[in-house]
Amino acid sequence: RQAQYRRLRNKPSVTKDGVEISLQMNAGLLVDLPHLVEAGAAGVGLFRTELQFMLASSFPRMKEQRAQYEQVLAAADGKPVTFRSLDIGGDKVLPYLRSIQEENPAMGWRALRLGLDRPGLLRTQIRALLMAAAGRDLKLMFPMVAEVDEFLLARGLVEKELKHLRRHGHGVPDKIRLGVMVEVPSLLFQLDELMHEVDFISVGSNDLFQFFCAVDRGNTRVADRFDPLSLAFLRALKRIVDKAGAAHVPVTLCGELAGKPLEAMALIGLGFRDLSMSPASLGPVKAMLRTLDAGRLTARLLPRLEPGHPEGDIRDFLKRFA
Ligand code: PEP
Ligand code: MG
């Protein structure tokens, strides 16, 4: 198998009926970057910046953050990298960050919420990213956005930092694209407003599913109780991909779903054309999609999402189709 996947590495990522699918990889540390070439990924669709913070014994200084991002961009060698701002708090505790005990850390003071309440921290990270990407493209997205306004506040911080750097004669990125992770269900009902503001979105299906079904992603007792390939969740995903398409906003899906061949097949059937996954999943997903008739799948899958369709389990249908 491994040899078979390696052979696929430089083969086009195109379905049997000619639909191009961009396969990117998720990363969090510099040591992940060689996988870009080894696995043949088109870019880094999700760079989890909190990893550097979790490994440190005190807050990484601006210079250290900047050095890390510079190294990541250099290692990516021109391939696009989508950085995600800090997703700490909740269960990702930093020993050096004073926090309170929370009953529901996943829904607590984490990610962008923490960043907006401690703007010094977020601004430092933003400055490090802007400086690291001077003369190149910067793609940055914000996690755990529940209201469009939170994104506007975050964008405001980017604009402030940009002004500051320009005033002091520092280089800045040639192009900045700012996006939002769609991983809180409230965004499903603000998609029109969201698309107006963002340059791109990325679906964080791990958290989105957790909050959508109220099922703790880390709790084995309940983790398998609900199926992401169920009517409700597939409808939610379709809503996102449709709205993004109508607004011409690029959309990626970077949760674990993207890395499982059957689930990835369903995502392509729904209309996703850009998936980001752990490097080890690239081979299996590419092997799947190169044998897939995407048009036929879409034609057979979408009617199953309509009300009143008699056919039962969608996972069973997908398995039969596969
Ligand atoms: C997600 O929630 O789907 C995601 C990609 O981010 P993380 O797993 O880091 O929360
Ligand atoms: Mg998440």
Its ipTM equals 0.99
Instruction: Say whether pLDDT at 278 is over 80.
Output: yes
Residue of 181, 203, 205, 207 best suited for mutating to test ligand 1, as the one with most atoms within 8 Å of CB:
207
Buried b (16+ CB within 10 A) or exposed e, 148-178: bebbebbbebbeebbeebeeeeeebbeebbb
Question: Which pLDDT score, from 0 to 100, does residue 306 have?
Answer: 95
Distance, in Å, from the CA atom of 18 to the CA atom of 305, rounded to the nearest integer, reads: 24
Query: Does ligand 1 come within 6 angstroms of the Cβ of 60?
Result: no
Query: Does ligand 1 come within 6 angstroms of the Cβ of 141?
Result: no
Q: Which atom of ligand 1 is nearest to the CA of 26?
A: 5
Chain segment 241-264, per-residue pLDDT in tens: 999 999 999 999 999 999 999 999
10 Å CB burial of residue 185 (0-12, 13-18, 19+) is: middle
How many Cβ atoms are within 10 Å of 204's Cβ, its own excluded? 27
Query: Does ligand 1 come within 6 angstroms of the Cβ of 183?
Result: yes
Instruction: Say whether pLDDT at 28 is over 90.
Output: yes
The tokens for 143 are 């996690």
Question: Which pLDDT score, from 0 to 100, does residue 310 have?
Answer: 78
Residue of 142, 184, 206, 212 best suited for mutating to test ligand 1, as the one with most atoms within 8 Å of CB:
206
Query: Does ligand 1 come within 6 angstroms of the Cβ of 207?
Result: yes
Distance, in Å, from the CA atom of 13 to the CA atom of 22, rounded to the nearest integer, reads: 7
Chain segment 94-127, per-residue pLDDT in tens: 888 877 788 899 999 999 999 999 999 999 999 9
Residue in the block written with tokens 């930093």: 94
Q: How far is CA 288 from CA 262, 278, 292, in A?
A: 8, 16, 7
Question: Which pLDDT score, from 0 to 100, does residue 97 have?
Answer: 84
Ligand 1 centroid to Cα of residue 95, in Å, is 21
Query: Does ligand 1 come within 6 angstroms of the Cβ of 281?
Result: no
Query: Does ligand 1 come within 6 angstroms of the Cβ of 139?
Result: no
**Closest by CA position to 291, among listed 2, 44, 21:** 21
Amino acid symbol at 70: E
Question: Which pLDDT score, from 0 to 100, does residue 231 have?
Answer: 96
Q: Would the pTM of this model clear 0.95, i.e. be above it?
A: yes
Residue with CA at minimum distance from ligand 1 atom 1: 204
Ligand 1 centroid to Cα of residue 157, in Å, is 23
Instruction: Say whether pLDDT at 24 is over 90.
Output: yes
Mean pLDDT of 272-300: 98
Instruction: Say whether pLDDT at 90 is over 80.
Output: no
Ligand 2 centroid to Cα of residue 138, in Å, is 21
Question: Which pLDDT score, from 0 to 100, does residue 312 have?
Answer: 82
Assess contact for 111 and 105: CB atoms under 8 A. no
